[in-house]
Amino acid sequence: KHCHYDQEIFWQYGEWVEVVVDDRLPVRGGRLLFSYSRTNNEFWSALVEKAYAKLIGSYASLKGGNISEGMEDFTGGIAYTRPVSSRTPPVLWRTLTAALSRGSLLSCFIQAKNVKEIGTVTAEGLVKGHAYAITATDKVKRNDEEVLLVRLRNPWGFVEFCGPWSDKCKDWEGIDAAEKTRIHLNIEEDGEFWIGVEDFCKMYDTVELCSVNPDSDAGEDSDAASVSDWSLTSHKGSWVPMCSAGGSRKYPKSFWKNPQFHLVLSQQDVEDVEVYEDDVDVGDDDAGAAVVKTGEEKQKEKMRKCTMLVELLQKNRRQIDKVNFLYIAFHIYKVRTRETLHRHLYRLKHSNLHFSVWISCTVLSTRPDQFPIQTKPNPNQTRPDQTIFKKCFDVVGMVWLEHT
């Protein structure tokens, strides 16, 4: 018997990692135990899954988690999580359309209230706690009314939406046959279906986006053909006990000891970049409300700002604690000099804090408000001696990153 080998490449903490596996796959009763294709002699998906399981630690380690984590490992891009409620249906539809036009990977899910709800099917045929791929957006006309649609796919390949604009819904009877052909309406149980954006916003809770080029999340009103120049800076490090493991802001005597990175954004934006309201100060362990600024103050700040993406990752948590991730955060402060921020400086007005969020996950990324030319991201967590990886994208020009 001959054994063949398959080679896959995944992105892991700033570099591409090669994983080699043989072609022996787990089966039960003569059928593949995990991923399989509808074509009997096609095995590429099962081989990719095996390689990914080897990278993560085991098949069991692949269970649960966020789809954005996997999308980053497969593409090397940056993933974003967007609450569906953060946009009106038409605005969300335009955002999804713009992202898809730039080749982004999009997914969505319905939040399960508890573990027992995961995998349960709603009356409309949607699975809770289950990732759906967003494969297309389009619009059709019915009785002089323009209907905005989103196409989703259940990766199971079955169990489809049975509400308005689903495969066999009567809504399609009033649509011209040419339109049905144009949008590739396929009336069969293949896991893929159309849904109106209004119903999508009512039924789904979260959209996850992953793009190698951060312009994919530039906004619903941006030109799909426009491309900005982005520079990338990354840094690996760890929280060291009794040295740089300062904990959260609940511990003011040690918080300042957390790693600090001085960012100089050397060129301002050529034109305004959309600011997402859900990105601005979404909560902190002791932070107050975001400072409300006047129109004149906002206009002055617009003159010298540069859009930046920040991502903080905790390494190898799936291999160590499976899905028991630490609570991690980064805080971004406006600074005037390159000096290290000491304890007394953190007691200044909250206006110096431009962004902060705490979350338990392997990847924490955001596209915060446009930043002043000099900022200082301050990553931290609640437990010491953990490894981190931080990545920054900067639009237009260079980012100078110094560890202080």
Tokens found for residue 267: 């060129």
- Helix ranges (DSSP H) in 123-249: 177-182, 197-203
The token duo for 144 is: 């002089």
37 contact partners, CB below 8 Å, separation of at least 6? 43, 44, 45, 46
Could you tell me if 12 and 52 are in contact, meaning their C-beta atoms sit under 8 angstroms apart? no
**49 and 70 in contact (C-beta within 8 Å)?**
no
Own/partner long-range contacts of 187-190 (Cβ < 8 Å, ≥24 apart): 189/158, 189/160, 190/157, 190/158
Q: Which residue carries 């609570």 as its tokens? A: 327
Q: Which listed residue (2, 40, 154, 378) is catalytic?
A: 154
Output the DSSP codes for 339-363: SPP-GGGGGS-GGGEEEEEEEESSE
The verdict on whether 114 is a catalytic residue reads: no
Q: How far apart are CA 111 and CA 115, in angstroms?
A: 10
Partnered with residue 308 across adjacent β-strands are 394
Q: Which of 66, 130, 262, 380 is catalytic?
A: 130
Phi-psi region of 207 (alpha: psi -120 to 50; beta: other; left: phi over 0): beta
152 token code pair: 């989703």
- The Cβ-side half-sphere exposure at 70, using a 13 Å CA radius, reads 17
Residues 204, 196: contact at Cβ < 8 Å? no
Helix axes 44-56, 67-75, angle to 10 degrees: 100
**Please, what is the end-to-end C-alpha distance for the chain in angstroms?**
58
**What is the three-class DSSP state of 44?**
helix
- In the numeric block, the tokens 């050529």 are attached to 270
| Cβ neighbours, 10 Å, residue 370 | 21
130 part of the active site: yes
Which residues are tagged catalytic? 130, 154
